Amino acid sequence: MLDWTDRYCRYFLRLISQHSLLYTEMITTGALLHGDTNHHLSYDEAEHPVALQLGGSDPRALAACAKIAAQFGYDEINLNCGCPSDRVQKGRFGACLMKEPALVAQCIAAMKDAVDIPVTLKHRIGVDNQTSHAQLEDFVGINKEAGCAAFIVHARNALLQGLSPKDNRTIPPLIYNSVYRLKNSFPDSEFIINGGINNIEQITSHLQQVDGVMLGREAYHNPYLLAEMDILFFAHTEPAKTRLEILENFLPFAECALASGAQLHHLSRHILGLFHGQPGARKFRRLISEKAHQNNAGIEVLVEGLDMMSNYCTDRPEAEPTS
C-alpha cells in the first residue's frame, strides 16, 4: 500500500470503522532517520489503533526507528517482508528478506528489545522457487523465537524476477491452506491472512481458521465494506454511519488540512470509492476527479459531491449487532 495509506486515507477509514487496526504505508528506515521524521510519522489521534510499517534490514536502524515510532505513540511496529518491487529489492528489504530468515529474526529481536509495543511481520508464503512449507515454517519459527507478536501472511509466493508488483498481487496462486497450516503448527501465535479477500463471507470463513484478516486494496477501492466490521466482528452496538454521514464528517478534517497547505487531490483521491456500487457513484467519482485537480480547488468540491449524492444514497449496512 505504498503511497496509498497516508494520514489522510487513514483518517477517512477511521470514520468508517472505529475498531479496525490501520497500517501506515511502508516507510523506510532511511526516510525516518535521515529525512523529515515528523512528516512521515505525524498522524491524527483519531487514527488509533494504528501500526507503523517499516522497510529495512539493518537491525540497529530498525531498532532506532521503532523507538522513534513508540515515542510518537504508534500501537504496533510491523516489518515488511512481503513487498516484491525492484526498488525495494535493491534496498535489501521487502519480500527478498524471506531468503534471509536469520537476518529477519535479528531485526525482530532488535526492535522487540527497543520497544514495549508489539512487533509484527508482514510476509508471503514463499519467494521465487521457495515453495516448501517446511521452509515457511522455519521462517515463522525462528521469528517467533525472536519475539514476533503476529504474522500477517499474504497467501501467495512473491516472484521477484519477471513479474511486476501488480502481477505479483494476482498471478501467483492464492494458497490459503498454507496459512491455515501455519496456525495449526503454531497455535499460540497470531496469524492474520491477506490476499484476494473482498467480502464479508470470505472474511467470516477465514476467521474459522486464523486469528484475523487484513484487507488491502479492497478496503481502499470499496471502503464502506469496513462499515460492517465493527458490528460483525467487534461487538459494536451503535449503527454504522451512512456514506453521506462519513463524507460530511470528513469535511472539517479536509478543511483543516487544506488550511495547512494540503492540496485537495491529496485528500480526495482516498474517498473516490466511498459510494462504490451505489447509484450515482460514477458521477461522484468523475466530479471529484475532475475538479479536485483544478487550481485553488477547495472544500466546495467535496460539498458539491455531498449535495449531489444526497439525492441518491441514504443507506446503512444491513448487519445486525452481535451480542
User: Residue 289: is its pLDDT beyond 80?
Assistant: yes
- Nearest to 293, CA basis, from 265, 321, 313, 315: 265
- Do 257 and 126 reside in the same domain of the chain? no
- Nearest to 97, CA basis, from 52, 58, 51: 58
Residue 272's CATH number: 1.20.120.1460
Higher pLDDT, 166 or 42: 42
User: Residue 321: is its pLDDT beyond 50?
Assistant: no
Cis peptide before 49 (omega within 30 of 0): yes
How many domains is the chain built from?
Answer: 2
User: Residue 89: is its pLDDT beyond 90?
Assistant: no
What percent of the chain stands above pLDDT 90? 81
- Do 211 and 286 reside in the same domain of the chain? no
Which residue among 159, 190, 223 closes a domain? 223
Q: What's the rounded mean pLDDT across residues 194-215?
A: 96
- Do 214 and 92 reside in the same domain of the chain? yes
The reply to whether 219 falls in a domain is yes
The overall average pLDDT reported for the chain is 93
- Do 33 and 133 reside in the same domain of the chain? yes
DSSP annotation of 321 reads P
Q: What's the rounded mean pLDDT across residues 236-264?
A: 94
Q: What's the rounded mean pLDDT across residues 236-261?
A: 94
In terms of residue numbers, what domain contains 264? Answer: 243-309
Q: Provide the annotated active-site residues.
A: 83
Residue 103's CATH number: 3.20.20.70
Q: What's the rounded mean pLDDT across residues 83-100?
A: 81
- Do 142 and 280 reside in the same domain of the chain? no
User: Residue 322: is its pLDDT beyond 50?
Assistant: no
- Do 176 and 267 reside in the same domain of the chain? no
User: Residue 318: is its pLDDT beyond 60?
Assistant: no
Start-end of H helices in 23-132? 29-34, 37-41, 59-72, 86-90, 101-114
User: Residue 307: is its pLDDT beyond 70?
Assistant: yes
- Do 267 and 213 reside in the same domain of the chain? no
- Do 205 and 249 reside in the same domain of the chain? no
DSSP E strands, 163-318: 190-194, 212-214
The reply to whether 212 falls in a domain is yes
Q: What pLDDT is recorded for position 161?
A: 81
Inter-CA distances, 8 with 46, 108, 239, 285, 322, Å: 11, 29, 24, 18, 30
- What confidence tier does 315 reach under pLDDT thresholds 50, 70, 90? low
The reply to whether 91 falls in a domain is yes
Q: What pLDDT is recorded for position 273?
A: 97
Distance of alpha carbon 129 from alpha carbon 114, whole angstroms:
34
Distance of alpha carbon 54 from alpha carbon 169, whole angstroms:
20
User: Residue 302: is its pLDDT beyond 60?
Assistant: yes
Query: What is the CB neighbour count within 10 angstroms for residue 114?
Result: 21
Q: What pLDDT is recorded for position 282?
A: 96
Q: What pLDDT is recorded for position 164?
A: 83
Query: Could you tell me the end-to-end alpha-carbon distance of the chain, in angstroms, rounded to an integer?
Result: 34
User: Residue 129: is its pLDDT beyond 50?
Assistant: yes
- Looking at beta carbons, which pairs linking 216-219 to residues 24 or more positions away fall under 8 Å? 216/1, 217/1, 217/169, 219/13
- Do 146 and 266 reside in the same domain of the chain? no
- Do 284 and 178 reside in the same domain of the chain? no
- Do 138 and 254 reside in the same domain of the chain? no
- Do 67 and 168 reside in the same domain of the chain? yes
Q: What is the pTM of this model?
A: 0.92
